[in-house]
Structure 1
Amino acid sequence: MLKILLVDDEALERKAIGKMIQKGMEGVEVIGEAPNGRRAVELAVELKPDIIFMDIKMPGMDGVQAVKEIKKLGPVIKFIMVSAFNTFEYAKEVMQQGVKEYILKPSRKQDILEALGRVAAEIQEERKQKEEQQSLRENLNRAVSIAQKEWVSSRIINQVQDITFEEWGQLLGVEITTGYIMLFSLHSKGQKEFTITEKQKWYTWLKEALHLVVKKQEFMIGPLIESQVPVLFLWKKTNEKLLFKSLSQYVIESILSLYQKESFHAELRIGVGHPYNHAYELNKSYHEAVMALNHLMKTPNQKYLIGVKQTDTQEKSTFASEILEMEKKLLEAVRQGDVNKVLFLFDSFITKHQSSLKIEASVVKKSFDELFILISRMLHDLGVNVERTPVVNQLEEVAVMLETGKAHLISIVQSVQQWRTNHAKGMLQKAKDYIESNYAESITLESVAEYVELSPFYFSKLFKDRFGMTFIDYLTDIRIKEAKTLMEDPTKSLKEICYSIGYKDPNYFSRVFKKLAGSSPSEFRKAVIKE
């Protein structure tokens, strides 16, 4: 319902216009009348009308001045000017205020209703655009949030290298050339395991606390796996080590201070990796953050540690880099469910540890734990449920420790194979059916992934592996095929066909159609009709 305010120094004129409006148009309501410009300003503030019929010549504050004052208070209000003076100067002055409608007295009913109809249509269109923009912003924010979480996960396991710091900077509107990982870990004070509800409550709190504390840096929050949350901090390039540590320390101490006011009945520990200048190096920062947390286990009174690098000897450094590369290949083999490749790579993993006699058992255990944490993260995103990471005693011999892991890894691969054969196959078919039934709607990769309960990142990978094309290519192919069929009906306009298959922009539809079909929609239709 559109609200209308009538402003005229003649009461009979106000009554006459009000009667014409109420009887001649639906969806509008006259909510008030004013005899002069000053009272019009007061009622505009009080009643918040959508449209004001404004007389120009009135005693005291005239209509032009009233429009200027009301524009300052409510710029979205629309005006229809009414005057007995058919002069260019009056029209020019109100047009400068953005007023488009100007009616001469005595006013004809047709003129009033036509002017009102045009303004009402303009308001409705503006509201529609505002709603679409709001929806677009919400969808964009949601998509960016999902993308950030998936990207942090992929950076940790070093799976993809298709988005750089520069590209994220363009998306976020800031310059970004450096990043590092801060790993937040929740530790029970006793033997009690955290419930899913407790973990989710802490995860929600952590996200809110980070948004409250972090002001000078961009950051992306990763997924909650078990009781750990990786957070990627992005910032402008700097070589000043002290600046990195001071900023990290400020964030950590602020978070810990806020945490003390909560009642989670658990200890919060934070490990921080070093900053790196390339996205593909972020997994190094993650491993450094993990090492920092491991070091904190030996010092219970210390809550955080910034920047622990494995630089004791060249041998350890080489060993770590080789193990890192093995982990990367092993994770991909597990994801593919390739048991032969997994066994070969894990044998290499075992051989490498057994041949490194100078590597302490504690270092081996860290490597062992990190591997299965990474696998756990990947499987969580993939939607595969497996048993918890095997528990090993640090005093066990390396060979025994790694053989235990091998047996557990084989069971994981078997679970992945079964999931890919049954669950994933069914999910992908379900996704395909959903796309074919809803291609005319505004569906996205994220919405389809959510429908089949898969991570968008892995849904995208699995979909391409299974069907040989990306999700967007498949959706586009379906839409264009349907467009070709509809073009055989000469009663349907190209614009109507465009909207009916899920496109909102006819120009964009035309470009996509020409790219796939080799000719424009109009050219294609002419050829079809000729045949």
Structure 2
Amino acid sequence: MIRVLIVDDEPIAIDSMEYMIRKNMDDVEVVGKSRSGRDAIEKAYNTRPDVVLMDINMPGINGLEAMRQIKEANPVIRFIIVTAFDYFDYAVEAVALDAEEYLLKPVREAKLVETLRKVTGQVEQQREKLRKELEIKEKFEMIVPIMETGFINALCMFEDNAEELKNFSRLLGNESTGGYVMIIAFDDKDSRGGNNRIGAGVKGQALYNRYREALKSMSRCMVGPIMLNRLVVYVCSDFPEPSFEQRLAALKLAENLYDRVGSLHPEISIGIGRNYGRLDEAKKSYREALQALSMADSRPEATNILHFDDAVKGMEDNDALYEDQMVHLIFAKAAEGDSTGAVLAFERMFSGLCKNEPQDFDMIKNKTIALVVEFGKRWGNVIGNSCNALSALLQAEHMDVLHELCRRFIRDAVERIDSGKQRKISAIIEQADRYMEEHFDQDIALESVARAVNLSPYYFSRFYKDETGTNFIDRLTAIRMEKAKQYLARAEYTVKDVARMVGYADPNYFSKLFKKITNMTATEYKESCGR
């Protein structure tokens, strides 16, 4: 429905135009009638018409001045001038105010209807254009988080995918923008200093939209999804390179973010990487943010915000001791099968080796070669021959090549270690399950299963629960109950027989356990099978 306001100081003119509109145009509604310029301005503000039929010569504020003020409040409104004065100056000024038509009184019905149909058609076109623009904008707003997730996922991957980063950035309109990475970690620390990252991640997921909205309102950024307990953000920046002023701006953003939404989950740590002017250096900022976060997360404060440059200055004074600590951490993470942790420790070690000027390339090369050799000594049977990696390191002539070769070797080696570890774990679990399935009718104790897989009873108990999520005794009970169902379905076995056949000397205990597991007594189950 098109909304029309009629403005004329003559009541008969208003009534005449209203009659012609109602008679000929069902899709047009007269939402107001005014007899002065001042009243027209007020009614236009309150009724929000699409079209105004405006007389010019009125007492007080004339029609042209009323048009100016109405257009200031509503620029898209359309005007049709209706006047008894055929003055050239009026016509020129009306055109300057974007009037659609200039009609002379007395207005013929056919001419008024024709003009209104023309103008209402323009209004409909404008509405359709706006609807399509809003629809496109809405779809884009729905797609933006998906594209930002793609950008952040590409940023966090180890592979060299600078082109993929540029493609996502181009789609998001940030192609030529540099910036830095900020990582927000949601913590859930207990009294002993432990951190339940899964529980913290669940809480962080519930707050994700609040954090995203806050970050978007405070900066130009790309926000990734919650990954475990971390939120990775790429903040676009106009600074061309790392600087003290940029570092202060990044820290201020982190502080303002915590001031706005930190009360929702007080225990957070924030690591911030350096600002770089080129998008292909964003991965470097990501690794720096991870390093800063790891140091911030280790501090006792509930909320920690740490920039990489401050973290570097806070490193141990004894460089040799720090390097030994990082090497030890690399191998500890490798033994756990944690490729991300091992690579992160390497990044910290490598940054420490490169911080002195001038850089001793040969010394750093020897350190990386020694690292690869040690991997071969410890896990050569798992990771395979490391000769190719050593040969490539020996031929490297640039620091970036040295860094990338060693980082990639560590990542691949630890992934193989983890794969071998998982195969070994699966083999132990399978062996334990097979032993229980073969000896379920005997008096099986924890010690006997542990002995079968060559582990101590205490370690096996924890190992089995951690890897399967089920206690050893619960798994044994489940096996026995499944076997019991098979025996109960056979007519020749009594409940007492079945209890003995699945390893229970006491039939009453067996019956209670069977009902607890199946919600049926053994007798009821046997009867149901006989029907």
TM class, shorter-length: 0.5 to 0.7
Task: State the SS of the aligned residue for 2:150.
Answer: helix
Q: Tell me, in whole angstroms, the C-alpha distance in 2 between the residues paired with 1:228 and 1:252.
A: 15
Q: Which residue of 2 aligns with 1:427?
A: none
Cα offsets for 1:302-339 (capped at 9, x unmatched) = 7233225433442597479999xxxxxxxxxxxxxxxx
Q: Which residue of 1 aligns with 2:304?
A: 303
Q: Which residue of 2 aligns with 1:162?
A: 163
Q: Which residue of 1 aligns with 2:283?
A: 283
Check conservation: 2:182, 2:270, Cα contact below 8 A. Answer: yes
Distance 1:410 1:24, change over 3 A: farther
Q: Which residue of 2 aligns with 1:139?
A: 139
**Is residue 152 from structure 1 mapped to residue 152 from structure 2 by the alignment?**
yes
Q: Which residue of 2 aligns with 1:200?
A: 205
Q: Tell me, in whole angstroms, the C-alpha distance in 1 between the residues paired with 2:41 and 2:22.
A: 23
Check conservation: 1:166, 1:175, Cα contact below 8 A. Answer: no
- TM-superposed CA distance for 1:349, in Å, is 8.1
Distance 1:345 1:279, change over 3 A: farther
Check conservation: 1:181, 1:274, Cα contact below 8 A. Answer: yes
Cα offsets for 1:14-52 (capped at 9, x unmatched) = 212111110111111122222233332232233322222
Identity %: 26
Distance 1:122 1:198, change over 3 A: same
The one-letter code matched in structure 2 to 1:211 is: K
Q: Tell me, in whole angstroms, the C-alpha distance in 2 between the residues paired with 1:322 and 1:4.
A: 81
The one-letter code matched in structure 2 to 1:201 is: A
Cα offsets for 1:408-448 (capped at 9, x unmatched) = 38999xxxxxxxxxxxxxxxxxxxxxxxxxxxxxxxxxxxx
Q: Which residue of 2 aligns with 1:37?
A: 37
- TM-superposed CA distance for 1:120, in Å, is 0.6
Q: Tell me, in whole angstroms, the C-alpha distance in 2 between the residues paired with 1:346 and 1:287.
A: 25
Task: State the SS of the aligned residue for 2:227.
Answer: coil
Summarize the alignment of residues 46-445 of structure 1 with structure 2, pairs less than 5 Å apart. Answer: 46-157=46-157, 158-162=159-163, 168=169, 172=173, 176=177, 178-190=178-190, 193-194=198-199, 198-212=203-217, 214-215=218-219, 218-239=220-241, 241-258=243-260, 260-262=262-264, 264=265, 267-301=267-301, 303-307=304-308, 308=312, 309-310=348-349, 311-313=351-353, 314-315=364-365, 318=368, 347=384, 403-408=417-422
The one-letter code matched in structure 2 to 1:233 is: V
Q: Tell me, in whole angstroms, the C-alpha distance in 1 between the residues paired with 2:138 and 2:423.
A: 41
Cα offsets for 1:228-281 (capped at 9, x unmatched) = 12111232344453224322322233334445422x3x6311223333444333
Distance 1:46 1:296, change over 3 A: closer
Task: State the SS of the aligned residue for 1:127.
Answer: helix
Determine which structure has greater relative contact order: mean sequence separation of CA pairs < 8 Å that are 6+ residues apart, divided by chain length. Answer: 1
Task: State the SS of the aligned residue for 2:145.
Answer: helix
Q: Tell me, in whole angstroms, the C-alpha distance in 1 between the residues paired with 2:4 and 2:369.
A: 77
Between Structure 1 and Structure 2, how many residues are aligned?
348
Task: State the SS of the aligned residue for 2:199.
Answer: coil
Q: Which residue of 2 aligns with 1:7?
A: 7
Check conservation: 2:188, 2:200, Cα contact below 8 A. Answer: no
- TM-superposed CA distance for 1:226, in Å, is 0.8
Q: Tell me, in whole angstroms, the C-alpha distance in 1 between the residues paired with 2:142 and 2:188.
A: 32
Instruction: Determine which structure has more spread, i.e. the larger CA radius of gyration.
Output: 2
Cα offsets for 1:202-231 (capped at 9, x unmatched) = 32232233234x44xx32112211111211
Q: Tell me, in whole angstroms, the C-alpha distance in 2 between the residues paired with 1:207 and 1:199.
A: 11
Task: State the SS of the aligned residue for 1:194.
Answer: helix
Q: Which residue of 2 aligns with 1:424?
A: none
- TM-superposed CA distance for 1:110, in Å, is 0.8
Larger CA deviation: 123-132 vs 268-277: 268-277
Distance 1:411 1:278, change over 3 A: farther
Runs ≥4 in structure 1, deviation > 6 angstroms? 164-167, 319-323, 348-353, 409-412
Q: Tell me, in whole angstroms, the C-alpha distance in 1 between the residues paired with 2:243 and 2:370.
A: 24
Q: Tell me, in whole angstroms, the C-alpha distance in 2 between the residues paired with 1:161 and 1:321.
A: 27
Q: Tell me, in whole angstroms, the C-alpha distance in 1 between the residues paired with 2:14 and 2:370.
A: 85
Check conservation: 1:152, 1:222, Cα contact below 8 A. Answer: yes
Task: State the SS of the aligned residue for 1:4.
Answer: strand
Q: Tell me, in whole angstroms, the C-alpha distance in 1 between the residues paired with 2:206 and 2:162.
A: 32
Check conservation: 1:175, 1:235, Cα contact below 8 A. Answer: no
Distance 1:267 1:143, change over 3 A: same
Q: Tell me, in whole angstroms, the C-alpha distance in 2 between the residues paired with 1:317 and 1:139.
A: 52
Cα offsets for 1:438-481 (capped at 9, x unmatched) = xxxxxxxxxxxxxxxxxxxxxxxxxxxxxxxxxxxxxxxxxxxx
Distance 1:274 1:349, change over 3 A: farther
Q: Tell me, in whole angstroms, the C-alpha distance in 2 between the residues paired with 1:37 and 1:284.
A: 65
Q: Tell me, in whole angstroms, the C-alpha distance in 2 between the residues paired with 1:239 and 1:133.
A: 37
Q: Which residue of 2 aligns with 1:377?
A: none
In structure 1, stretches of 5+ residues that fail to align are 324-342, 357-366, 373-397, 413-531
- TM-superposed CA distance for 1:136, in Å, is 2.3
Q: Tell me, in whole angstroms, the C-alpha distance in 2 between the residues paired with 1:411 and 1:110.
A: 89
Task: State the SS of the aligned residue for 2:225.
Answer: coil
Check conservation: 1:8, 1:54, Cα contact below 8 A. Answer: yes
Distance 1:351 1:298, change over 3 A: farther
Q: Tell me, in whole angstroms, the C-alpha distance in 1 between the residues paired with 2:273 and 2:17.
A: 72
Q: TM-score, normalised by structure 1?
A: 0.56
Q: Which residue of 2 aligns with 1:376?
A: none
The one-letter code matched in structure 2 to 1:208 is: E
- TM-superposed CA distance for 1:126, in Å, is 0.9
